[in-house]
Amino acid sequence: MLRQVRLFLTLVAIVLFGLAGIASATLTDRQSEYYKGWISTADRAESVIEAGRASDAALENLRAEINAYREDFNRARGANTERIHTLESQLKALGPKPGDGESEPDDIAQLRAHLEEQLNSLRVPQIISEEAFSRANGLISEIDQVIRARQTKELLKRGPSPLNPAYWGPALEDFESAISGFINETVTNLNSDVTHEQFRDRGPAILALVIASLILLSFGKRWSEKASDYLRQLGGYGGGVWTFVGSLLRIILPWLGVVGLVKAVELTGFAGLRGELLLDQIPYWAATIFYFDWLGRQLYLMGAAQSFQRLSQRRIAELRVYLDLLALMLVFNEFANVFAQIEYVSDTTRAVIGFPIITATALLLLRVRQIRSAEPDLPVTDTATPGRTAGFSQMIEILRRAVFILGISSPILAALGYVNAAEAVVFPAVKTLGLLAALVIFQRFIGTLYGWITGQGDAARDSLFSVMVGFVLAILSIPFLAIIWGARQSDLSEAWSRLLLGFDVGGVTISPSNFLTFAAIFAIGYMLTRLLQSGLRNSLLPKTQIDPGGQNAIVSGTGYIGIFLAALLAIIVAGFDLSSLAIVAGALSVGIGFGLQTIVSNFVSGIILLVERPISKGDWIDVNGMMGYVRDISVRSTRIETFDRSDVIVPNSDLISGMVTNYTRGNTVGRVIVPVGVAYGTDTRKVEGILSEIANAHPMVLANPAPSVVFQGFGADSLDFEIRAILRDVNWVLSVKSDMNHEINSRFVEEGIEIPFAQRDVWLRNPETLRAGPPAPQPEPETKVAKPSKPVSSAPVEMTEADLSDGDGDEL
């Protein structure tokens, strides 16, 4: 019923377009046939999904067929987009249609009708493709859901327990029957005339393959070592690089020998159906064994180079043995799977055969987990990068716990009858460990290669480049990890397709292609802006009459404008439509205004500083009691270098709203004031003449306006004078003041003019106590004692150190 309704709606849509006079112009016969084929495939897919009886292989084939249609419809959705935009712009230029009772000129009406007809003819394929694309997406999602449901059901399926002795006998009989069938099939094929004829016809090729394979198996490792030694001599410091290349040759050459032997056996033709299935798997099994052996060897070499923190050479050698045994367990598991496919054995036999392999693999994983903690007292060898060491140790600890959980749970699951779940847990764990070990080895190799090329040596392994390589390798390993843990290739391709389609953010579609286009255009614009700034700063502006502050403002303004234009151009080229984000941006602006008002204030102040230029780069300013030279004016803050060579970061808003003293704004002319005092009784006119001569004689003092000497007044200790002079460059004010003070001291000594010390009068309340010392007991004098209010108690007394050390100080 649903299929009939959809077909009816499709026919109605086509009829409506035909009534408009556009269907015949847009859908060619070939396109119509293609669309009919799609309708037939989609209806068939809906029937299959509804029935739910198709096999997984049939569903995968159907999914691939629908996916091909979906890709075509996806391309058709974006066809003629530019032409449609052009037609819409033309119609917009004509203005809206006249209302009821109004008419427009015939030529404009004919042009409008012609443009609308063209626009509709281009929109029809897009509308149909959009509908078909959506339907294909839905069908693919339904098929994936059915397959995943079946996988989950199979994974959680509980079968017979392999610990039941009643199942052991039948399992042994099935195994013996399979071996007997394989042997009988092979012997029968060997005795057949067809096999003998193939031996005669292909004998030379078979013999050549066998000889070449045996040579590769026998001498492959030796040749790889010799090649590594030879390359090491050519490469100098790249010995680690060539050792890695030699290690790859060490496994590639023997593996090619195995492949050659398998091909030679296939050419003989004596292998039957069972033999063909086994021969197809042998190269994969050999690659697994060679790969894990290569991992163990590389880990051993890394341990010799002290790359592992807590593993001794003996423990690493033990680890190599466990890795080889884990590879054998993987091969045994694959063999059991092939055995089940060949003989179609029962679930009971499959569980009995798989349980020992699962248990042995779990025990090996637990033993691998115990290796690192077997020698806890070994010192940590990599102390150069404690942060990296801590992160690496945490990751290893997480892996050890995961291995422990998987090693314990998988035999228990198998014993309870969940053999499929146990296999889906323990064997992917082994493959994951192999993949992670390979990532560590390849990261180390790329770091060594980078150190060899750049000349940094072993230090390159701890560089940012090595960290980035590790991050990239981790990202690239995600699809492999997904496949290891049961993801289908179609799942990965579907995820990649959806990623390419992008995701919607506020009505803006962001896809990897758009993002990469934006990043590339912005990066190019940014680099061009920096090149333009460099040219202005170093070549063009120094040849103009613009002051350094103005040059810095021009360079900074060019940078802001260039970056803004680069971002705008990148958005336009990438195809981002930001009109739909206007409301969101308006709402966010309110929050930004309140939450980031300080930053916005500093930003606006920075723009004002660059445009108005109350201060410029190189100015000597005083702000909030902090004095120094302006070294840099950025958007948010200004950097001031104080006279003690320390940098002070001042927010731009403080420079705009606060009190700022600029000593060098516009020019470097400034005044210096040099105070000096002379003793009372000195000829003031003579002092004024001497000071005037000193001021006029200094080369930094301007003659116009002429320096002046001011008699400030009568101080507490001296007659106070000041030299006030205008300097050519106020930045030399301290040096000028120092020079004048030196000259003043020299001339005053020559003229006998005294610069007095500070004078202070000390008044004592009871000076008689300090003069006479402690009073002795005497008779009362007849004379009348003076009253405390007489002047004798307030007369100034000269004191010495002896006076201060005698008597009772409490009376002072």
The 10s digit of each residue's pLDDT in 181-233 is 778 887 887 788 777 787 788 888 888 888 998 998 888 888 888 887 777 77
Percent of the chain with pLDDT strictly greater than 70: 81
- 8 Å CB contact between 660 and 614: yes
Main-chain dihedrals φ then ψ at residue 508, nearest 5 degrees: -105, 125
Please give the pLDDT value at position 697: 92
Fold of 670-751: Alpha-Beta Plaits (3.30.70)
User: What 8-state DSSP symbol labels residue 536?
Assistant: I
Please give the pLDDT value at position 310: 52
Tokens of 288: 């697994």
Measured distance CA(753)–CA(748) in Å, rounded: 5
pLDDT interval class at 16 (50, 70, 90): very low
Measured distance CA(700)–CA(192) in Å, rounded: 117
What are the pLDDT digits (tens) for 768-788? 666 655 555 555 544 444 444
DSSP letters spanning 457-495 = GGGGGGSHHHHHHHHHHHHHHHHHHHHHTT--HHHHHHH
Q: Is the dihedral of CA 711, 713, 719, 721 positive or negative?
A: negative
Where in the chain do CATH 3.30.70.100 domains reside?
A: 670-751
Please give the pLDDT value at position 787: 42
The Cα angle at residue 48 between residues 47 and 53, in degrees rounded to 5: 130
**Average pLDDT of the segment spanning 47-75:** 88
Please give the pLDDT value at position 689: 92
Residue type, 784: K
Tokens of 432: 């994951």
Please give the pLDDT value at position 235: 59
Is pLDDT above 60 for 364?
yes
**Average pLDDT of the segment spanning 20-36:** 59
What are the pLDDT digits (tens) for 434-478? 898 888 888 888 888 888 777 777 777 777 788 888 888 888 899
What are the pLDDT digits (tens) for 242-269? 778 888 888 899 999 999 998 888 888 7
Poorest-pLDDT segment among 271-275, 506-510, 693-697, 752-756: 506-510
Measured distance CA(427)–CA(41) in Å, rounded: 38
Is pLDDT above 50 for 385?
no
Radius of gyration of the chain (CA): 47
**Average pLDDT of the segment spanning 61-82:** 85
Q: Which residue has the tokens 């090729």?
A: 205
Please give the pLDDT value at position 111: 85
- 8 Å CB contact between 570 and 522: yes
Candidates 523, 557, 565, 527; CA nearest to 541 is 557
Domain 614-665 has CATH 2.30.30.60: yes
Please give the pLDDT value at position 673: 93
Where in the chain do CATH 2.30.30.60 domains reside?
A: 614-665
**Average pLDDT of the segment spanning 315-335:** 88
Please give the pLDDT value at position 528: 93
Is pLDDT above 90 for 13?
no
Q: Which residue has the tokens 């000129």?
A: 105
Q: Which residue has the tokens 């300097």?
A: 727
**What Å distances lie between residue 584 and 362, 502, 506, 509, 580, CA to CA?**
55, 20, 8, 15, 8
Poorest-pLDDT segment among 156-170, 484-498, 796-810: 796-810
**What Å distances lie between residue 737 and 713, 720, 742, CA to CA?**
21, 17, 9
**Average pLDDT of the segment spanning 230-245:** 70
What are the pLDDT digits (tens) for 693-717? 999 999 999 988 899 999 999 988 8
What are the pLDDT digits (tens) for 628-644? 998 888 777 889 998 88
Q: Which residue has the tokens 């001291």?
A: 745
Q: What's the chain's average pLDDT?
A: 79
- 8 Å CB contact between 518 and 571: yes
Poorest-pLDDT segment among 144-153, 360-369, 753-762: 753-762
**Average pLDDT of the segment spanning 748-776:** 75
Is pLDDT above 70 for 378?
no
Q: Which residue has the tokens 């090329």?
A: 453
Is pLDDT above 50 for 373?
no
pLDDT interval class at 725 (50, 70, 90): very high
Please give the pLDDT value at position 374: 45
Burial class of residue 102, CB neighbours in 10 A (0-12, 13-18, 19+): exposed
**Average pLDDT of the segment spanning 283-309:** 76
Please give the pLDDT value at position 29: 64
